[in-house]
A and B are shown apart, each in its own frame.
Chain A
Amino acid sequence: MTTQSSAEYEKYYVPEKSKLAVCATLGLVTSTFGAANVMNDMTFGDGTTGSSWGIFLVGLFIFSATLFGWFRMAIKENLAGLNSAQLKKSYVLGMFWFIFSEVMFFLAFFGALFYVRNLVGPWLSGEGDGGRMNHLLWEGFQYAWPMPQTPQEAVGGVANQPIANMGTFQSYEKSMAFSDAAAWYLWLPLWNTIILLSSSVTVHIAHLGLLNGNKSKFNLWLGITVVLGMVFVGLQALEYYEAYAHFGLTLNSGIYGSTFFMLTGFHGFHVLMGMTMLLIQWLRSVRAGHFTADDHFGFEASSWYWHFVDVVWVFLFLFVYIL
């Protein structure tokens, strides 16, 4: 933490008044209002969601366009030399703590997974402190992970109890866990792990290239990273297709399906965001010649984000797929 002395005082750039915040608010609120309407039409209404989708998409467009303009302005200010070293550090801190908040978001879902696997499952099958109700409610339920059968299915068939406000349970035939040692090379999650871990290496090579002033190396390896990200997202989409079409594994497959899809789904969404961020940095570098060896925070922030989704995946691979 270096505090600057008064002698080397640089003016901290406080932007003039700006319409960005109000436009972003308009977009955000319109899109969330639309999204809420879509869901309520689906669950509580007659299922026609057309106009609600319209509201959602208009909001999303305003929101995205504003964010695009916002980042554009921040980049232009930096290129115009308005940003003091101190302001740049504010951006660094902002990004760091934003990633920290993302970590805590995933922690909620990992926490739910651990709680369910280590405590709730055994309790529902009659073990331990929480097991007293088993003979009243879920007699005959056997706990295993992945959970082949929900407690409701164990006592009364899948159709007996609706889930929250819609749907019925759907048992799956095959989980995502590693099952066939002979054909390990056909196991998709393994390839996804290799791809995502490699992409962390390639983005680092790109960074090293940039630090040495080698822009063509930077462009090449950053491009490779983006492509790897796209392949990962594509394979995840394929996995979801397999799950729904061939494994019978859906969001309605009890807690195993819930945790599987929510953890991998949010991770996949974050990969998509990180990939978009890196793609934009690549376009900035290739098309507009942005970034120098000592001024490239847009890229550095995106690469931090990329490493973050990578680390989340390592935990996902361990706790969702393997263990």
Chain B
Amino acid sequence: MGDHHHGPAKGLSRWLFTTNHKDIGTMYLWFSFAMFILGGAFAMIIRAELFQPGMQLVEPAFFNQMTTLHGLVMVFGAIMPSFVGLANWMIPMMIGAPDMALPRMNNWSFWILPPAFLILASTLFMEGGAPAFGWTFYAPLSTTYAPPSVTFFIFSIHVLGMSSIMGAINIIATVMNMRAPGMTYMKMPLFVWTWLITAFLLVAVMPVLAGAVTMMLMDIHFGTSFFSAAGGGDPVLFQHVFWFFGHPEVYIIILPAFGVVSQIIPTFARKPLFGYDSMVYATASIAFLSFIVWAHHMYTVGMPVAGELFFMYATMLIAVPTGVKVFNWVTTMWRGAMTFETPMLFCMGFLVLFTIGGFTGLMLSIAPADFQYHDSYFVVAHFHYVMVAGAVFSMSAAVYYWLPKWCGKMYSETMGKTHFWISFIGFNITFFPQHFVGLAGMPRRIPDYALQFADFNMMSSIGAFIYGASQILFLYNVIATIVSGKPTDKEKVWEGAEGLEWTVATPAPYHTFERPPAVR
């Protein structure tokens, strides 16, 4: 035990009992990748069934279980934990801290995740099957008509909600309390800023989700009437409570992605980020607005017109700060000395495709138009442009960008670029046609469809298989880098990179800043 301050412990206990932010970040990242593969496998089943019209491979009930679990696993298991892992690794290094503020709780918030997902995945083998009511679990599908496994689903949501809240509290305490002397708020890297704001969102809305599933639990087992009109409640109440959580949740997913892109683009444009202050204010504005737009997910449910109008205008307002961000990213590149390494390529992909997803979001925000688009494949296309081309692309960019710093090895640029182009093309083949079938009237979450949608669906499925395969290449590339990548000990792996994480040795030492660094 004598030299525990200088390096990690050996064996399994290093990972089980660790309090080190880098170990915990690594576990978060690997866990989220495992969930990404699992959720991706569910998606492949969905796309295989939809390859042709008619029922070929799976039963409709099982198909519904797949759409449900695909959404839940991707949102709560893949995307959110991946950014928490990134926060764990990078925030202490970026603000000059020795570790996260509350290291033991940090380990706890990771370790309750895998069992929570084990419980969720085990519902597949329970009597009555896994939850089949969609990742949004609307009542009464999720209460009166739910399979018994819904109870396990509810408790797994509780547990992973606890994990998110503890992770968020840790990040807030770290950012507010652990910055090195001189690291004022307005000098923080933008990734830290976006995560601080994300953490506020998490602490504010994860408890509301806990409230929603608790009401479900009571309705199912203890005879309350929250979501039953017969007892004086209202199924629409569920949608309000859920989306009060669910809309900020969208920004919980995308704000850290904004942070990543804001770190990478300046590096490869070799220019400081354009409009740093306005980026911070735009992020905060988006977070604030996210609390007052939730009902734009429910235009067709039968709201008073005043409500429809309020939520429509408030939603459109979000385009302003988002526009500020896109403008700043583009302007950062203006007359920059640009190079296009893999992280930058993924950021370019992010910029173009996320903007498309933003525009379709703007279309969906128009209440009368949404009556046509609602619950169609247009919505599916929209949120995959935001979730996959937004969050997942920026996550891939982040991995390529910081992997050399993490493990002291360079990844293969050829393989990285191949991964990008296959993902980019596969992604667009998958989701671009879904705009068309959606506008033509194909509803989401169905195992079979009318014949006129056949061609576009086949394209979608082929694209999905290509995109899925490209992630295997990603996995291979990361492992190959760690095992046999070209060693590098340059502190500044990228010549244009700025920030404290590039001032420490490569690979980053187990304990980064024993004493706070000087911040200019």
B144 at the interface (CB under 8 A from A): yes
A179 at the interface (CB under 8 A from B): no
| Contact A164 B155, beta carbon cutoff 8 Å | no
B403 at the interface (CB under 8 A from A): no
Residue of B nearest to A105 (CB): B207
Number of interface residues of A (CB under 8 A): 82
| Contact A70 B104, beta carbon cutoff 8 Å | yes
C-beta contact mask, B215-254 vs A, less than 8 Å → 1, else 0? 1011111111110111111101100110010000000000
Residue of B nearest to A155 (CB): B230
What's the nearest-Cβ distance from chain A to residue B443, in Å? 23
| Contact B19 A14, beta carbon cutoff 8 Å | yes
Residue of B nearest to A130 (CB): B302
A287 at the interface (CB under 8 A from B): no
Highest count of chain B CB atoms <10 Å: which of A42, A101, A164: A164
What's the nearest-Cβ distance from chain A to residue B314, in Å? 17
Number of interface residues of B (CB under 8 A): 94
A128 at the interface (CB under 8 A from B): yes
Q: Which of A12, A39, A101, A123 is B221 in contact with, Cβ under 8 Å?
A: A39
Q: Complex: how many Å from CA A169 to CA B230?
A: 9
| Contact B222 A251, beta carbon cutoff 8 Å | yes
Q: Complex: how many Å from CA A103 to CA B329?
A: 37
| Contact A147 B232, beta carbon cutoff 8 Å | yes
Q: Complex: how many Å from CA A262 to CA B223?
A: 12
Q: Which of B17, B103, B205 is A14 in contact with, Cβ under 8 Å?
A: B103
Residues from 146 to 171 in A contacting B, C-beta threshold 8 Å: 147, 150-152, 161, 163-167, 169
A124 at the interface (CB under 8 A from B): yes
Query: 25 pairs across A/B with beta carbons < 8 Å?
Result: A3-B181, A16-B1, A17-B14, A17-B18, A17-B19, A21-B108, A25-B111, A28-B159, A29-B115, A29-B119, A39-B217, A94-B101, A101-B207, A105-B208, A107-B207, A107-B211, A120-B232, A130-B302, A147-B232, A150-B225, A163-B225, A169-B225, A251-B218, A254-B232, A262-B224
C-beta contact mask, B162-179 vs A, less than 8 Å → 1, else 0? 100100111011101111
When distances are taken between beta carbons in the complex, the residues of chain B under 8 Å from A255 are 224-226, 231-233
B132 at the interface (CB under 8 A from A): no
C-beta contact mask, A15-39 vs B, less than 8 Å → 1, else 0? 1111111101100110011011001
A185 at the interface (CB under 8 A from B): no
What's the nearest-Cβ distance from chain A to residue B301, in Å? 10
| Contact B515 A42, beta carbon cutoff 8 Å | no
| Contact B226 A15, beta carbon cutoff 8 Å | no
B484 at the interface (CB under 8 A from A): no
Q: Which of A5, A21, A124 is B232 in contact with, Cβ under 8 Å?
A: A124
Q: Complex: how many Å from CA A323 to CA B88?
A: 47
Residues from 90 to 130 in A contacting B, C-beta threshold 8 Å: 90-91, 93-94, 97-98, 100-102, 104-105, 107-109, 111-112, 115-116, 119-121, 123-124, 128-130
B482 at the interface (CB under 8 A from A): no
Tell me if B's interface is mostly helix, strand, loop or mixed.
helix
A255-B224, A262-B218 known; 5 new pairs, CB 8 Å cut-off, are: A17-B18, A36-B119, A112-B241, A129-B304, A163-B223
Q: Which of B143, B159, B241 is A164 in contact with, Cβ under 8 Å?
A: B143
B121 at the interface (CB under 8 A from A): no
| Contact A165 B144, beta carbon cutoff 8 Å | yes
Residue of A nearest to B111 (CB): A25
When distances are taken between beta carbons in the complex, the residues of chain B under 8 Å from A163 are 219, 223-225, 228, 230-231
B98 at the interface (CB under 8 A from A): yes
B107 at the interface (CB under 8 A from A): yes
Residue of A nearest to B209 (CB): A108
B66 at the interface (CB under 8 A from A): no
A184 at the interface (CB under 8 A from B): no
| Contact A258 B225, beta carbon cutoff 8 Å | yes
Interface set of B (CB-CB < 8 Å, partner A): 1, 4, 9, 13-14, 16-20, 97-99, 101-105, 107-108, 110-112, 115-116, 119, 140, 143-144, 148, 151-152, 154-156, 158-159, 162, 165, 168-170, 172-174, 176-183, 203-208, 210-212, 214-215, 217-226, 228-234, 236-237, 240-241, 244, 302-305, 511, 515-516, 518
When distances are taken between beta carbons in the complex, the residues of chain A under 8 Å from B224 are 163, 251-252, 255, 257-258, 261-262
A305 at the interface (CB under 8 A from B): no
| Contact B225 A97, beta carbon cutoff 8 Å | no
| Contact B229 A15, beta carbon cutoff 8 Å | no
A36 in contact with B203 given A14-B19, A16-B4, A90-B177 (CB within 8 Å): no
When distances are taken between beta carbons in the complex, the residues of chain B under 8 Å from A32 are 119, 155-156, 158-159
| Contact A97 B172, beta carbon cutoff 8 Å | yes
When distances are taken between beta carbons in the complex, the residues of chain A under 8 Å from B4 are 16-17
| Contact A90 B173, beta carbon cutoff 8 Å | yes
When distances are taken between beta carbons in the complex, the residues of chain A under 8 Å from B14 are 17
| Contact A6 B518, beta carbon cutoff 8 Å | yes
A198 at the interface (CB under 8 A from B): no
Which 7 residue pairs of A and B lie closest in terms of their CB atoms, listed nearest first? A108-B211, A255-B232, A258-B224, A21-B108, A105-B207, A152-B230, A167-B223
Residue of A nearest to B514 (CB): A11
Q: Which of A97, A108, A129 is B241 in contact with, Cβ under 8 Å?
A: A108
Residue of A nearest to B234 (CB): A120
Residue of A nearest to B183 (CB): A3
What's the nearest-Cβ distance from chain A to residue B509, in Å? 14
A100 in contact with B203 given A5-B181, A17-B18, A70-B104 (CB within 8 Å): yes
A101 in contact with B302 given A111-B241, A121-B232 (CB within 8 Å): no
Residues from 284 to 304 in A contacting B, C-beta threshold 8 Å: none
| Contact B111 A21, beta carbon cutoff 8 Å | yes
| Contact A116 B233, beta carbon cutoff 8 Å | yes
A64 at the interface (CB under 8 A from B): no
What's the nearest-Cβ distance from chain A to residue B12, in Å? 11
Residues from 69 to 104 in A contacting B, C-beta threshold 8 Å: 70, 86-87, 89-91, 93-94, 97-98, 100-102, 104
Q: Complex: how many Å from CA A128 to CA B303?
A: 11
What's the nearest-Cβ distance from chain B to residue A15, in Å? 5
When distances are taken between beta carbons in the complex, the residues of chain B under 8 Å from A306 are none
| Contact B178 A86, beta carbon cutoff 8 Å | yes
A256 at the interface (CB under 8 A from B): yes
Q: Complex: how many Å from CA A3 to CA B211?
A: 37
A21 in contact with B104 given A108-B241, A254-B232 (CB within 8 Å): yes
| Contact A150 B231, beta carbon cutoff 8 Å | yes
What's the nearest-Cβ distance from chain A to residue B499, in Å? 18
